[in-house]
Amino acid sequence: MRLPDPPPPPVRVAAVDDFALRRSRRYGTLVVDVESRLPLDAWDSREGEPVTGWLRAYPQVRTVCRDGSAVYRGAITAASPAIVQVTDRYHLWQGLGRKVYEVVAAHRRCLPDPAAHTTAPRHLGGRTAARVRRNHTETHRLLAQGMALRAISRHLDLDRNVVRRLARAATWQQAAPIWPQRVGILTPYQGHLHRRWSEGERDVAALFRELAARGFGGSEATVRLYVTEHREALDMGLPPPAPARSAFEVSRLLKRRPDHLTEDQRVFVKDLLQRCPELHTTHQLIRAFATVFDKQRPAQLDYWIRRARFCGIPQLRGFAAGLLDDLDAVTAAVTLPYSSGVAEGRVTDLKMIKRQMAGRAGIRLLRKRVLLVAHSRRTQPRDLTEDLWTINAHENLV
């Protein structure tokens, strides 16, 4: 603590981000110089007043990167309306991803039903089937008597979600758990196999050699057995049996670049978008949003917001309203090369230093070490490095 603070670099572009101090939901704020990538200050609050005071003490700062926090936005504006605010592109993409997940979850009925494929899931039998049948009968009997789900849960000593699933199921088979679809050794190559079959290749030995060249480690007998069991689907040109996919996994596939998808994933996405107009519209908006930032086309941002607002999908309409509310900062994120990624990296360093002190460091000591360690890595002065080694050695001895 007796070491002086390192001299701050001439700051023109700063980044502001929060970090967790303790598990009791206490947060602090870290300020980083975007150009030199050095931390400048830290304090144990993410309120707006300290940010405003810090910016007024550094009037040469003309650009500030931040996330979508309304507190930081208001604090920067209060310090100087002339400061250019840049919202973080990663947080924008993350926010869109959450909305895409909500859209997929709302249209879960469009996802392929694994039970409709040729390899039907097998219901559990024996004691499990008897227990599910008994609980289903009791749940519906108590519902007919007017008992609430919470009371039924206590009466049968079952989890409330289990009771809710039993209540929604018309038959006990619908509520019974199923064996998960097993992913076989041939699963990653089914898309190629179906495509080559639709192109007219009927020689199983030739198909096996093609799959082996693509990395398939099974035998020709495995390929022949698959062709025999799925001959009707192959002759009809149907896609391979799609595994059950969660809404989260589907939302990730919709966000991924088309050239980064595997052949089976491309087939799955194409079939899904053909069956669900809402997801097709969502996918178009995802690709258009990515193009705005990849190609740095701020003129297309306004057009994208109008499309999202009038696309008829509430989740994307809400996301577009948020962009419109922070339009200047979003536009700056499209045109300027700055982002909050520097601050995110320094927050990672801060967490490492905090854990070295078992997470019990006060903000003054934590701030001091964050500044000194970062500057010692950059400048490597002999006296400062030796002092830091002396501090660390003394802490280890204590």
pLDDT digits (tens, 9 = 90+) for 11-33: 999 999 999 887 657 889 999 99
- What is the structure's pLDDT at 243? 62
pLDDT digits (tens, 9 = 90+) for 246-262: 888 899 999 999 888 88
pLDDT digits (tens, 9 = 90+) for 61-107: 999 999 988 999 999 999 999 999 999 999 999 999 999 999 999 98
pLDDT, average across residues 206-224: 91
CATH 2.170.120.12 fits 13-88+339-397, yes or no: no
Residue 1: pLDDT band by 50, 70, 90 thresholds? confident
- What is the structure's pLDDT at 376? 85
pLDDT, average across residues 277-305: 93
pLDDT, average across residues 361-381: 83
- Asked if residue 179 lies in contact with residue 160, where contact means CB atoms within 8 angstroms, the answer is no
Residue 144: pLDDT band by 50, 70, 90 thresholds? very high
Residue 171: pLDDT band by 50, 70, 90 thresholds? confident
Is the confidence at residue 232, as pLDDT, over 80?
A: no
- In this prediction the pTM is 0.65
Between 119 and 103, residue with greater pLDDT:
103
pLDDT, average across residues 363-376: 90
pLDDT digits (tens, 9 = 90+) for 313-340: 999 999 999 999 999 999 999 999 999 9
**Lowest mean pLDDT: which of 36-50, 104-118, 361-375?**
104-118
Between 42 and 233, residue with greater pLDDT:
42
